[in-house]
Structure 1
């Protein structure tokens, strides 16, 4: 990878703060850094707790999308799932109304301060909303122990789960859970065990997952993610990391390049944002999002610009991540 000069990245960077419609991952405002490369606008948005080594993959993705090879998508749109935060069952219909035409719902479970009963109620409401022909998947973000995950899947399985995403944190735990629940009919998907792992293929080699969740930014970009998909030999779901429409465009280009993509993608999350950086956000229409580059609106960049101290903080992590890649 040929890195753009650091001074050019710093000079041209825009840092924005975008409010969320509903608390998600414990935050109500999403901060991202955007920059325009020769191929178009691109995004660097590792979550704020990530250190330079981990954040550097996100910068590699931004460079790949903004400065890398021209992409040739296989499709003009990709089907997406609705994403349901850890809300009460009475709020489910209102959230899912923002995802017109989506036949699949990913339900967040294992939220801190909530109970399994809360999860069951939320999943039941999601199932009622999409009907018997719809698909419901759950995402625990690795917060369950093996015993807790087994108990939860036994309680949730009657609602017809497409799969359970990262029910436990470690690869050995996922393998043990798969062994215990083999007859339950709930496949296990790995997310954090792919995107946060030193060896993202370890989960596939260990037989610890039935499918992989791949995200362009954490995996170093479209090019790197496609190589991982080819090496893993498992079905995949392409998802996002609460990106702006620019980052979602990166994910859509990845999804459109994956051969034999069978699952709806987690790329409809612009619906979780109360503001975006474009007048034409990448929102779900008829259950899908377009595969296209995003035209960023300069007025929106100004309107949602982060305060000076937050801009300097982001430029600092940009520099630190650039140094990791350069080294």
Structure 2
């Protein structure tokens, strides 16, 4: 663990922003983010508002590591990325995908609360029509199905030539069961929440419940911890983001650049879901030609001012960071 900077230092360097989204995502239309400038560069702390302090503390540890410690050796300078398609109506698919320059892989959100499998099928069918036969489609259910629902869904969706199915069910035993039930269909199972939200992120690998793992730098506590999880899991990895600005995406890009092997396009193009960014347009980590550079863009003071959160929300983030910092500073046995 990187040595903790003083809490006063963190809060003094803090800038909180609120950036609207093009399309509702995870029930949100505006994304709040906390940014710091550390000795190594700008870094981001952006757990979702509903996350409890125990979970959010790992995100703060990652932000501190990226801002205050040198990154591991990097093996590549650009990262291929996928487009992310929220659970929009089929008629909206073309509009959303138009934001992603050159991306030939699309992650389609499915199993959205309040929608039906028919909605998912229509969304995926339209995505395949736009991509053509050479494009890659991966699905993300965010643990929204039980095993029977997932099995039924795979049978309905397999015709669209799926790259993999991410977190179809919530628990590791369910993932193991659906993987066994659908193995003959040739659709790999990826684990996301069962890695980043688990007390033991390696349980899914030990249970034989996934063919690959999704890793995110902030939830896992930083780049070094994520690299260790991938190494110990012994499975192919996809680096993904948590709806971050270009400052947060840079952390994910550095993680992807440090992986010994990178066999899949990464989910690091979510800046395109925002209506703006905190860094100048030329430095923003939106995909160009289907990839993003491994860089550390600096926020523009004017953009920080434009998207500055209200005093009430800034105070809320101050209090949250203080609580998470105290957790990191308190020995586990205390």
TM-score (norm 2): 0.97
**Is it true that 1:121 corresponds to 2:122 in the alignment?**
yes
Give how far 1:97 is off.
1.1
Cα distance in 2 for residues equivalent to 1:138 and 1:81: 12
**Is it true that 1:105 corresponds to 2:110 in the alignment?**
no
Cα distance in 2 for residues equivalent to 1:84 and 1:162: 15
Q: Could you say what secondary structure the match of 2:37 adopts?
A: strand
Cα distance in 2 for residues equivalent to 1:241 and 1:326: 25
Cα distance in 2 for residues equivalent to 1:275 and 1:285: 16
Aligned partner of 2:266 in structure 1 is 265
Q: Which runs of 4+ in 1 moved over 4 A?
A: none
Return 161-170 or 85-94, whichever deviates more.
85-94
**Is it true that 1:187 corresponds to 2:166 in the alignment?**
no
Q: Could you say what secondary structure the match of 1:18 adopts?
A: strand
- Equivalence map 1:309-324=2 (5 Å): 309-324=312-327
Give how far 1:274 is off.
0.3
- Equivalence map 1:145-184=2 (5 Å): 145-184=146-185
Q: Could you say what secondary structure the match of 1:35 adopts?
A: strand
- Equivalence map 1:127-276=2 (5 Å): 127-276=128-277
Cα distance in 2 for residues equivalent to 1:170 and 1:315: 33
Aligned partner of 1:24 in structure 2 is 25
Matched-pair contact (CA < 8 Å) for 2:72–2:224: no
Aligned partner of 1:303 in structure 2 is 306
Root mean square deviation, CA, Å: 0.7
- Residue by residue over 1:224-280, the C-alpha shift from the partner in whole angstroms, topping out at 9 and shown as x without a partner, is 111111111000100000000000000000001111110000001110000110012
Q: Give unpaired runs (5+ residues) of structure 1.
A: none
Q: Could you say what secondary structure the match of 1:138 adopts?
A: strand
Give how far 1:69 is off.
2.1
Give how far 1:23 is off.
0.3
Aligned partner of 1:61 in structure 2 is 62
- Residue by residue over 1:144-201, the C-alpha shift from the partner in whole angstroms, topping out at 9 and shown as x without a partner, is 0001000001100010110000000000000010111110111100000000000000
Cα distance in 1 for residues equivalent to 2:235 and 2:99: 31
- Residue by residue over 1:291-319, the C-alpha shift from the partner in whole angstroms, topping out at 9 and shown as x without a partner, is 00011111111111111110010111101
Cα distance in 1 for residues equivalent to 2:8 and 2:122: 51
Q: Could you say what secondary structure the match of 2:325 adopts?
A: helix
TM-score (norm 1): 0.99
- Residue by residue over 1:48-100, the C-alpha shift from the partner in whole angstroms, topping out at 9 and shown as x without a partner, is 00111100100010011000124432111100000001111111111111111
Aligned residues: 327
Cα distance in 2 for residues equivalent to 1:183 and 1:110: 22
Cα distance in 1 for residues equivalent to 2:182 and 2:231: 27
Q: Could you say what secondary structure the match of 2:183 adopts?
A: coil
Matched-pair contact (CA < 8 Å) for 2:269–2:285: yes
Q: Give unpaired runs (5+ residues) of structure 2.
A: none
Give how far 1:121 is off.
0.5
Q: Could you say what secondary structure the match of 1:186 adopts?
A: coil
Cα distance in 2 for residues equivalent to 1:298 and 1:218: 27
Give how far 1:2 is off.
0.5
Matched-pair contact (CA < 8 Å) for 2:213–2:236: yes
Q: Could you say what secondary structure the match of 1:182 adopts?
A: helix
Cα distance in 2 for residues equivalent to 1:72 and 1:182: 37
Cα distance in 2 for residues equivalent to 1:85 and 1:50: 21
